[in-house]
Chains A and B, each alone.
Chain A
Amino acid sequence: MRVRLSVNGASQEHEVEPRLLLVHYLREVVGLTGTNVGCDTSSCGACTVLMDGESIKSCTVLAVQADGTEITTIEGMAQDGAMHPIQEAFREHHALQCGYCTPGMVMAAASLLKEHADLTEAEVREGLEGNLCRCTGYHNIVKAVLAAAGDREALV
């Protein structure tokens, strides 16, 4: 089947198997390997990307279902060589260790911050519930997201 969509602002058009998952399409067909796969039960969030601005787990969506949408992956976050404020905050607050959960975590945080104004620590923790990290114990991830939330102007 044919899919036509935009990935990080560039239009893509490919013939794909109907069963191809969006995450595999992004990684293997488009060649953007920043989005990771950590499970097969949509539990870990490593594969989180934005579809039309909202975070989705790209392992639960077929490539053909993404036809006509705009997808943003971690590779689309930095603009003009400058990291996105959430990426900056992650670095500043040591919110990543091995970095495997990080692309998904950053995308989930981006959508969380877009949808909510003033976030409390508890809201950040609830909001990131679908994204697992085995390294950081979340302490610094929460800190980074709260820091980025305090800098909302820079987020747009």
Chain B
Amino acid sequence: MTVADAGVAGVVGTPMTRREDPGLLSGEARFVDDLVVPGALHVGLVRSPHANARIRSVDTSAAMALPGVVAAFSGADLRDEWAQPLPCAWPVTPEMLNPAHLPLAVEHARYAGDAVAAVVAESAYVAEDAAALVAVDYDVLPAVVDLEDAVADRALVHPELSTNTAYTWELTPEPEAVERAFAEAVHTVSERYVQQRLIPEAMEPRGVCVVPQPFGDEYTVYSATQIPHILKVMLGLSLGVAETKLRVVAPAVGGGFGSKLNVYAEELLCAALARRLKRPVRWNEDRTENAQATIQGRGQIQHIELAADGDGKIRAVRVRLLADMGAYLQLVTPGIPLLGAFLYHGAYDVPAYSFVCTGVFTTKTPTDAYRGAGRPEATYAIERAIDALAGKVGVDPAEIRRRNFIPREAFPYSSAPGLVFDSGDYEGSLGKALDLAGYDDLRAEQRARRARGSTRHLGVGLSSYVEMCGLAPSRVLASLNYSAGGWEAATVRILPTGTAQVVTGTSPHGQGHVTSWSMIVADKLGISPDEVEVLHSDTAVAPHGMDTYGSRSVSVGGTAVFLAAERVLTKARTIAAHQLEVAEEDLELSGGTFAVRGSPERSMALATIAFEAFTAHNLPDGLEPTLEASVTWDPPNFTFPFGTHVAVVEVDEETGRVDLVRYVAVDDCGEQVNPLIVEGQVHGGIVQGVAQALWEEAVYDQDGNLLTTTLTDYLVPSAAEVPSIEVGRTVTPSPTNPMGVKGVGETGTIAATPAVMNAVIDALAPFGVRDLDMPATPERVWHAIRGIGQEGRQ
């Protein structure tokens, strides 16, 4: 492929409005619950009200007596439906304990919300009524709620395992180097941070609808999922149905943030019931179920220690984690903390490194991927700890970061934990963020307020982050025991009339892949994005794919699209050269037309070439008809987006209330395909990250009851709680893919939480407050100001 062909149309890099929008704005888009399926039955689930209980009996007779109820099942009734339990695809160590997890619990419910019985009815209203009539008799057992308590094994979640520890995973390349660094350190920092559990709260709850074709034993599964391809494989294995009999479709999906990156009990259940009842079966989650039965995120206790020299240069990082698995291991539960395992040194050049994580069962909703997955936790720990170090060394937080950054000339940078960081300019992004924020003025304002005894304390917090995304190559995933690949597939074809069709294995649910992929292809082929159709999220039209999560779509899936378009162009050039009777090198592509260099009147439009390839009347010998190419791209490395965020808060001394008054973000995600979409991802990610710092927490009582099941108790921020976001960017292309892109879906969430908490703690410095648990609620802040510790409350 000649370089001259790249970027002809110039659409890549422009803020194009989205092609997805008209359908979503007009109400025409179809989410799972919008699908009209004649004859469909509705499932209502009976969920355990107890965190830990033996199921003595399940009586469905009253439910069955209700008019409109078709069937009712206990877990025991359906035990034989499952060829395999719910899958966990990430056995992080060979010894990892993974207790069987069935879609309907059989003898034992292990968290409040664990499904124990299902009723099937002619309408959703009747299904709900009937579920309330199922009588379940429980022996209530002690809940295992607190992580440090759980690891002590005083009460067991799974008695048959004899321990609550699922696994221990360690990464300490040179133990002596770590010991030496701590022995020789001038300054040390030792911190304990709590990552509270979060509820992802995608605005569309989950939903699934399975339509059987009983005579062929075939099933079409519509699910609000991020991973139709992975789901198809897993459904086949768990149900004992051949992959060839399954089609999985993710229709319009209303947000995921990791929570729909899973294989859920209800998906298996609807499929099994459709198989058994030979009728379409559907289920829609309500918000309360969503809080209890969709995975939660975070849930860690972190111990981080830094060893530094007299200048504050960090010589070693040592981390110990307790990670809350919840009651069962879902699809990638055990691997989530390990996605952060390599990043606890952050953006800093640290020679010695030690990380150990213990995964612990509790009688709570399983945890799994939530926006950032492991990386926000790691970034929080190092960014809080480096501020603590700045305090010990007596330098400004910006200065301590500058002293420690991996320098620009060090890339590609081999990190102590064993990654190769692709490219970066960390000091550049810090400088730009400080400029945008007016950092010196903010500090001056802070001093002035303190001097005049203002009770509205200003706090400024920094967060310089680097993350790894793209989650590839597949071989590296293998070394982490991850049971899938990191590649992505794409097909690009030019249809006989000259428009293009893209088939992608990514599965967008808000990220705008239709727009971005059509821009990539249009740019390459020199046609308009409106002439490019993008097909996705249906295994019947896009049979290969690894789906959408981990900020992988543009760097892996987008690259596959780019390379497939390039191959199509190579073939088009061959055909044009043949028909124009010139050498391939003599052709130039411009505006979708190949013309002979020097004699532009001798030319062939791509549309003409496509039609020639379609009729195949006059192709070079041996060349296959049609203009189409498929590429499966397995990148050589992760990509490493980075940046610096600055949060400015005001803390009211009288009430403890924290207001986020400004937020500045400078991100570098390499080249940008569509800056409008990039900024949207940044804004949304930031608000989710801010929410962890200030408002959100999945609260459990001592009996393991989730107290925050509704959106009135679990405080997802509204527009009124957050400011507009001041966004800047730097562009440092990634050398690992031809477009130089990195990924941006999670950067905001990764950066924002520590930026805000550092700002809150900075505001509280006059009171000697050095630490505060999240979320920084008015109550917590009020107590901290008055020197009342966590224990002293109430």
B512 touches A97 (CB 8 A): yes
B718 touches A135 (CB 8 A): no
Contact for B688 among A39, A73, A97, A134, CB less than 8 A: A134
Residues of A within 8 A of B22 (CB): 83, 91
B26 touches A40 (CB 8 A): no
In the complex the two chains form, what is the Cα distance from A73 to B25 in whole Å? 11
Answer whether residue B711 sits at the interface, using C-beta atoms and an 8 A cutoff: yes
Q: Given the known A-B contacts A33-B30, A38-B205, are A132 and B24 also in contact in the complex, defined by CB atoms under 8 Å?
A: no
B18 touches A91 (CB 8 A): yes
Q: Given the known A-B contacts A43-B710, A83-B22, A126-B720, are A101 and B17 also in contact in the complex, defined by CB atoms under 8 Å?
A: no
A136 touches B710 (CB 8 A): no
Answer whether residue B34 sits at the interface, using C-beta atoms and an 8 A cutoff: yes
Answer whether residue B569 sits at the interface, using C-beta atoms and an 8 A cutoff: no
Interface readout for B24-39 with A: 1 if CB under 8 Å, 0 if not? 1111111101101000
Interface residue stretch chosen among B85-93, B253-261, B349-357: B253-261
Answer whether residue A34 sits at the interface, using C-beta atoms and an 8 A cutoff: yes
Q: Given the known A-B contacts A35-B27, A75-B27, A142-B724, are A136 and B684 also in contact in the complex, defined by CB atoms under 8 Å?
A: yes
A94 touches B679 (CB 8 A): yes
Give A43's nearest chain B residue, CB to CB: B711
Contact for B204 among A19, A96, A100, A137, CB less than 8 A: A100
In the complex the two chains form, what is the Cα distance from A128 to B719 in whole Å? 6
Residues of A within 8 A of B510 (CB): 97-99, 135
A98 touches B711 (CB 8 A): no
Interface readout for A34-55 with B: 1 if CB under 8 Å, 0 if not? 1111111101101000000000
Give B690's nearest chain A residue, CB to CB: A137
B716 touches A98 (CB 8 A): no
In the complex the two chains form, what is the Cα distance from A139 to B721 in whole Å? 12
Answer whether residue A133 sits at the interface, using C-beta atoms and an 8 A cutoff: yes
Residues of A within 8 A of B643 (CB): none
In the complex the two chains form, what is the Cα distance from A97 to B30 in whole Å? 15
B25 touches A102 (CB 8 A): yes
Residues of A within 8 A of B74 (CB): none
Contact for A87 among B25, B203, B287, CB less than 8 A: B25
Residues of A within 8 A of B719 (CB): 124-125, 128-129, 131, 133, 138, 141-142
Give B725's nearest chain A residue, CB to CB: A139
Residues of A within 8 A of B18 (CB): 91, 94
In the complex the two chains form, what is the Cα distance from A136 to B510 in whole Å? 10
Answer whether residue B125 sits at the interface, using C-beta atoms and an 8 A cutoff: yes
Answer whether residue A25 sits at the interface, using C-beta atoms and an 8 A cutoff: no
CB distance from A76 to the nearest CB of B (A): 9
Residues of A within 8 A of B684 (CB): 97, 134-137
Cβ < 8 Å to B, chain A residues 128-156:
128-143
Q: Given the known A-B contacts A75-B27, A136-B683, A136-B684, are A40 and B288 also in contact in the complex, defined by CB atoms under 8 Å?
A: yes
Cβ < 8 Å to B, chain A residues 9-35:
17, 19-20, 27, 31-35
Cβ < 8 Å to A, chain B residues 698-749:
710-712, 716, 718-720, 722, 724-725, 748
Tell me how many residue pairs across A and B have CB atoms closer than 8 Å: 174
CB distance from A42 to the nearest CB of B (A): 9
CB distance from A125 to the nearest CB of B (A): 4
Cβ < 8 Å to B, chain A residues 72-115:
73-75, 77-78, 83, 87, 90-92, 94, 96-103, 106
Interface readout for B745-756 with A: 1 if CB under 8 Å, 0 if not? 000100000000
The listed residue with most A CB atoms (<10 A of its CB), out of B511, B680, B712, is: B680
In the complex the two chains form, what is the Cα distance from A92 to B17 in whole Å? 6
**Interface range, B side:** 35 or more
In the complex the two chains form, what is the Cα distance from A44 to B676 in whole Å? 26
Interface readout for B158-184 with A: 1 if CB under 8 Å, 0 if not? 000000000000000000000000000
B677 touches A94 (CB 8 A): yes
B286 touches A40 (CB 8 A): yes
In the complex the two chains form, what is the Cα distance from A92 to B254 in whole Å? 20
B203 touches A137 (CB 8 A): no
Residues of B within 8 A of A100 (CB): 31, 202-204, 254-255
Interface readout for B256-300 with A: 1 if CB under 8 Å, 0 if not? 010000000000000000000000000000111000000000000
Contact for B27 among A19, A33, A90, A101, CB less than 8 A: A33
Residues of B within 8 A of A118 (CB): none
Q: Given the known A-B contacts A91-B17, A128-B719, are A103 and B27 also in contact in the complex, defined by CB atoms under 8 Å?
A: yes
Answer whether residue B685 sits at the interface, using C-beta atoms and an 8 A cutoff: yes
In the complex the two chains form, what is the Cα distance from A101 to B30 in whole Å? 13
Residues of B within 8 A of A67 (CB): none
CB distance from A33 to the nearest CB of B (A): 4
B: which residues have CB within 8 A of A? 17-18, 20-31, 33-34, 36, 125, 201-205, 252-255, 257, 286-288, 509-512, 676-677, 679-681, 683-688, 710-712, 716, 718-720, 722, 724-725, 748
Nearest 10 A-B pairs (CB), nearest first?
A34-B27, A99-B24, A100-B254, A98-B510, A137-B687, A137-B683, A97-B510, A43-B711, A33-B34, A74-B27
What are 13 pairs between A and B in contact, CB < 8 Å? A38-B205, A39-B286, A40-B287, A87-B25, A97-B255, A98-B510, A100-B204, A135-B684, A136-B683, A137-B688, A137-B722, A141-B719, A142-B719
A: which residues have CB within 8 A of B? 17, 19-20, 27, 31-41, 43-44, 46, 73-75, 77-78, 83, 87, 90-92, 94, 96-103, 106, 121, 124-126, 128-143
